[in-house]
Amino acid sequence: MSDRVEKYTEHSWRKALLNSQTTLQTAITNLENSGLQIILVVDTNGSLVGTITDGDIRRGLLRGLDLNSPIDSIIHQDPLVVPAQMSRETVLQLMQANEIHALPIVDETRQVIGLHSLNELLTPYQRPNLMIIMAGGKGTRLHPYTTNCPKPLLPVGGKPILEHIIERAKEEGFQHFILAVHYLGHMIEDYFGDGHAWQIQIDYLREKHPLGTAGAISLLHFSPKTPLVVSNGDVLTDIRYGEMVDFHNQHGAAATMAVRLHEWQNPFGVVNIQGVDIVSFEEKPVVRSHVNAGIYVLSPTALNALEKDQYCDMPTLFSRLKERGERTIVYPMHEPWLDVGRVEELNKAQQEWNNHLTSKF
């Protein structure tokens, strides 16, 4: 496994974490071993106290500190940090403008949850994970647009929905894609071919009959060695596919489902009752629930729950795995996301998503 892949799969940024009672000698050893050019100093709760770079250590030694001195006097206590939802492009611009090589990622409580590396953002890298995209549906809810065009080829921002998905994943190092096709599948194959134009490899699973959002995977003629990403072919999103794979690996899951928080406000006042007695009133309450975002990560062993060439949707696959005692988890996502399943969503995509592609908010 390459160093680039290892950086993502093993969460090597955690090697940069140290507490403020550490000595300069330990800090120097940490910088040499991690190769990340930064130390993230955290408290006992994992919250960021500050950062230390090689320059900070050198300046400390010039001031008279020795290798046994604690690092607390050289900690940069107000470092630049970013939230997880900041786009890759914005992070890169921020790092280049401030001439920094590493940028901590923190949550709302200032806990460290990751680290951006300038080398990682600038250097091409490859992931070994396969990505399967379900592109065989008829898109009946999008008629008449899908009468002579498969849904994944409908244009948004000047290119097909499916092309957006592929290019987004390619940015994160995914190189091998398999498209599951059925309805007007020849049009998809004619457009993408073997992927040469995108400098990637594209193969196809050809469904003789609809197999659902999971069943087509049973047509694979080989057994993947690493977890695979599966996406519906009509989902536009800025989700970090690679980070979702890392999350899946970190939790030792057989299957991971991306979910998004959906809020719906009841337009009426709700009366809570017990029998005929009124218990309480709620004025237009907001109902919150997590919905399936149509993006998944499956470990190779999860494919054993599929039957060859038999219909199976993803919720059914997850249920089978759970019944077998396998761990199935969710990956809460916050990134922009749009399921282009109906005419209203297509219109929204062609208007709002065009703006998003331009602004990358």
Catalytic residues: 284
Phi and psi of 155, rounded to 5°? -80, 140
Q: Are 230 and 132 in contact (CB under 8 A)?
A: yes
Give, for 115, the enclosing helix (H) or strand (E): strand 112-117
Tokens of residue 224, six digits:
């993947």
Tokens of residue 201, six digits:
């490899």
Tokens of residue 260, six digits:
């998004």
Give the integer Cα–Cα distance in Å for 85 and 139: 31
DSSP string across 176-188: EEEEEE-TTHHHH
Tokens of residue 266, six digits:
């009841």
Q: Are 52 and 75 in contact (CB under 8 A)?
A: yes
Q: Are 234 and 346 in contact (CB under 8 A)?
A: no
Q: Are 40 and 104 in contact (CB under 8 A)?
A: yes
Q: 257 pairs with which residues across the strands?
A: 296, 330
| Closest C-alpha to 96, from 80, 112, 74 | 80
CB proximity list for 361: less than 8 A, separation 6 or greater: 87, 336
Find the farthest-apart pair of alpha carbons in the chain and give their distance in angstroms, rounded: 80
Query: Which 3 state secondary structure label does DSSP give 338?
Result: strand
Tokens of residue 209, six digits:
């009959």
To the nearest 10 degrees (0 to 180), the angle between helices 24-34 and 54-62 is: 150
